[in-house]
A and B are shown apart, each in its own frame.
Chain A
Amino acid sequence: QKEVEQNSGPLSVPEGAIASLNCTYSDRGSQSFFWYRQYSGKSPELIMFIYSNGDKEDGRFTAQLNKASQYVSLLIRDSQPSDSATYLCAVRVGGTSGTYKYIFGTGTRLKVLA
């Protein structure tokens, strides 16, 4: 069983719509969750991180975490063609500094259609 799972997509949404990206993880003890955006040929850039159950909003982005269901999602409102990229879900596992690491999902490719 993969530790972090995402639907590879592509997920196609029209411009202006809400894009919903989902991620499940297997380690129930995970505490920190991250969403990264990666354009082709580039390294990932952090969009949001979330630690607590519930929603966290930042501009057009909302991260949702449900630890009981081991599920984290990212909503992108008013999707723009520039949002077209691969979105990586990452989970931090491990304990104190120096012993933790990040596990990435395979990513979901998002296409926003103009």
Chain B
Amino acid sequence: GAVVSQHPSRVICKSGTSVKIECRSLDFQATTMFWYRQFPKQSLMLMATSNEGSKATYEQGVEKDKFLINHASLTLSTLTVTSAHPEDSSFYICSAREEGLALDSYEQYFGPGTRLTVT
């Protein structure tokens, strides 16, 4: 099956610093990747949709200058949390859709997530 990896799996950083999270589709090409954030005991909240070769589409309320997304290739998307603050501490999860599938065979593959703690 399709595999999506994320790196790092866990990161602790100091307030004011920036953190980059990588999302890779290992055995398929993904034109579209999604970035989610999940706070404890809450559901996944879509932050942005990342499209290869174009600007990301951010959800309402998500600061695009704070959460920088780069989808440089068909297998890699990165999320950079700039000037991180303790309230940015969360579980960040990416997902990718394999291109070329028929609609009725569609699914998105989730990465294992990155636990960010800002101190």
Contact B42 A106 (CB under 8 A): yes
Q: How far is the CA of A49 from the CA of B104 in the complex (A)?
A: 9
Instruction: Check A102/B51 contact, CB under 8 A, given A43-B93, A43-B112, A49-B107.
Output: no
Interface size on B, residues (CB 8 A): 26
1/0 per residue, CB under 8 A from A, across B88-117: the answer is: 000101000101000110111011110100
Q: How far is the CA of A59 from the CA of B36 in the complex (A)?
A: 29
Contact A44 B34 (CB under 8 A): no
- Chain A proximity of B104: nearest CB distance (Å): 6
Interface size on A, residues (CB 8 A): 20
- Chain B proximity of A95: nearest CB distance (Å): 11
Please, which residues of chain A bring their CB within 8 A of the CB of B91? Answer: 41
Contact A49 B106 (CB under 8 A): yes
Please, which residues of chain A bring their CB within 8 A of the CB of B43? Answer: 88, 104-107
One of B49, B99, B106 near A101 (C-beta < 8 A): B49
Of chain B, the residue at the smallest CB distance from A89 is B43
Instruction: Check A44/B110 contact, CB under 8 A, given A98-B32, A101-B46.
Output: yes
Please, which residues of chain A bring their CB within 8 A of the CB of B104? Answer: 51
Q: How far is the CA of A45 from the CA of B112 in the complex (A)?
A: 10
1/0 per residue, CB under 8 A from B, across A54-96: the answer is: 0000000000000000000000000000000000100000000
A/B interface sample: 20 pairs, CB < 8 A = A32-B106, A34-B107, A41-B91, A42-B113, A43-B110, A43-B112, A44-B44, A45-B110, A46-B107, A49-B106, A97-B32, A98-B51, A101-B34, A101-B46, A101-B49, A102-B108, A104-B36, A104-B43, A104-B46, A106-B43
Question: Told that A98-B31, A104-B46 touch, could you supply 4 new A-B pairs with CB distance under 8 A?
Answer: A42-B112, A88-B44, A97-B31, A104-B45
